[in-house]
């Protein structure tokens, strides 16, 4: 696969290695967004179908991307925290039950569980990141598997760690959690779109994704898959669109007790969002055409040489098998001056994120080996 930089507006002199923070819009998505904003100048052109057809298209594309059987298992959400709240609101725990998470997980995927365990006097079990750099990812994964027991009610994990890119073996976690009747809830925000995800293969009970990173969508819209266990749950809001026969605008006050099928009940109110939905559709079409596996391969290719150079500078980067190629962390050590490094990044237009003890580097199809060369140049200047 070749660079796709021409499809974005990132200037030549900018090394934007920070899609894990926020992706740039595709030019095509920007165009659709601008058109969509103007649409409401002429409200008489917004028809009944416009409330339903684009949303269906969006859910169908997302179902295709994640290999889910039906768009009826997909809900449109405004944020990852909203999608996770839907899950936690529909879980009952016993005292002493455990919700398992990993250390320094993204806060939206922690606070909801804290609230849940407080409600039921249950326990949050945090699997710490290993202190060693040798086989760090392998050990962390093994510790997760070893910690799933009959006490585990929920395993709530990301596919890769948002700060350092550690890859979690969700298939093995699913097998182990099934043995103990524990739910598997996955936050795919830092992978889905750039790393393959298959509902068929992993069979999570829920998969939650904000769209403004690897789904290349706008901010304030996301997508979630909810499995059969949530088919009869209670949604956060009781929006009219999610009820049976809501297409019949003349009959909306024939109030309906039943929801639309499957996960549709969990979509956010005003799900038809005439601006964000068409933008998210356009972005998903492009991602499906590219295929996330090709994005992984491309990111591996452009970063490979630099990762060897970082290792020569004694900077730890997780082994390829246990990290994403699109997102990885460079662990700072005493040989690197963090303040000099920050200044060098600024001077050279290199954009990354500092997350805990890691410099998080994330790439996409608009990046190139030159961007990574610039990154390495900054590290070399910061060696003390």
> Cα–Cα distance between 31 and 42 in angstroms, integer?
18
Examine residue 86 and tell whether it contacts ligand PLP (CB under 6 A).
Answer: no
CB of 112 to ligand PLP, least distance (A): 9
CB of 340 to ligand PLP, least distance (A): 26
Question: How many chain residues are in contact with ligand PLP, going by CB under 6 A?
Answer: 12
> Cα–Cα distance between 208 and 266 in angstroms, integer?
12
CB of 275 to ligand PLP, least distance (A): 18
Q: Which is nearer to ligand PLP, 82 or 230 (CB)?
A: 82
- CA distances 4 to 11, 89, 216, 302, 350, Å, are 13, 41, 13, 13, 19
CB of 290 to ligand PLP, least distance (A): 21
Q: Which is nearer to ligand PLP, 129 or 190 (CB)?
A: 190
Examine residue 351 and tell whether it contacts ligand PLP (CB under 6 A).
Answer: no
Q: Which is nearer to ligand PLP, 79 or 141 (CB)?
A: 79
Q: Which is nearer to ligand PLP, 127 or 336 (CB)?
A: 127
Binding segment (CB under 6 A) for ligand PLP, from list 47-55, 104-112, 121-129, 289-297: 104-112
Window 160-199: contact mask with ligand PLP (x via CB under 6 A): --x------------------------x-xx---------
Q: Which is nearer to ligand PLP, 161 or 331 (CB)?
A: 161
Q: Which is nearer to ligand PLP, 162 or 366 (CB)?
A: 162
Among 24, 71, 137, 158, binds ligand PLP (CB under 6 A): 158
Examine residue 80 and tell whether it contacts ligand PLP (CB under 6 A).
Answer: yes
Examine residue 159 and tell whether it contacts ligand PLP (CB under 6 A).
Answer: no
Q: Which residues of this chain interact with ligand PLP, rule CB under 6 A?
A: 79-81, 106, 108-109, 158, 162, 187, 189-190, 210
């Amino acid at each position: 696969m070749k660079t796709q930089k021409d499809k974005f507006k990132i200037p030549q002199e900018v090394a934007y290695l920070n899609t894990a923070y926020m992706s740039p819009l595709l030019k095509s998505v920007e165009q659709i967004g601008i058109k969509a904003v103007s649409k409401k100048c002429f409200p008489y052109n917004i028809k009944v179908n416009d409330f339903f057809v684009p949303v269906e298209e969006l859910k169908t594309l997302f179902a295709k991307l994640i290999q889910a059987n039906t768009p009826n298992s997909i809900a449109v959400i405004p944020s990852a925290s909203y999608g996770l709240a839907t899950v936690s609101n529909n879980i009952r725990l016993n005292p002493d039950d455990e919700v398992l998470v990993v250390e320094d997980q993204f806060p939206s995927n922690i606070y909801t569980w804290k609230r849940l365990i407080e409600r039921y006097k249950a326990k949050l079990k945090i699997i710490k990141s290993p202190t060693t750099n040798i086989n760090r990812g392998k050990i962390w994964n093994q510790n997760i598997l070893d910690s799933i027991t009959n006490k585990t009610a929920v395993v709530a994990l990301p596919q890769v760690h948002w700060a350092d890119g550690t890859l979690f073996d969700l298939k093995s976690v699913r097998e182990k959690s099934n043995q103990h009747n524990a739910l598997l809830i996955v936050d795919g925000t830092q992978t889905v779109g750039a790393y393959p995800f298959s509902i068929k293969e992993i069979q999570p009970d829920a998969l939650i994704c904000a769209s403004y990173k690897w789904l290349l969508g706008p901010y304030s819209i996301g997508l979630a898959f909810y499995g059969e266990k949530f088919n009869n749950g209670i949604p956060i809001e009781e929006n009219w669109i999610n009820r049976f026969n809501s297409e019949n605008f003349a009959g909306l006050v024939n109030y309906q007790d039943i929801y639309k099928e499957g996960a549709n009940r969990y979509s956010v109110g005003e799900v038809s969002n005439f601006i964000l939905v068409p933008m998210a559709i356009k972005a998903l079409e492009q991602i499906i055409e590219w295929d996330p596996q090709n994005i992984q391969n491309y990111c591996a290719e452009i970063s490979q040489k630099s990762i060897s150079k970082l290792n020569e500078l004694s900077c730890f980067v997780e082994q390829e098998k246990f990290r994403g190629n699109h997102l990885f962390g460079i662990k700072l050590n005493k040989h690197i001056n963090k303040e000099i490094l920050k200044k060098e990044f600024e001077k050279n237009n290199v954009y990354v994120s500092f997350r805990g003890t890691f410099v998080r580097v994330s790439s996409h199809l608009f990046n190139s080996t030159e961007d990574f060369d610039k990154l390495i140049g900054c590290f070399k200047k910061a060696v003390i």
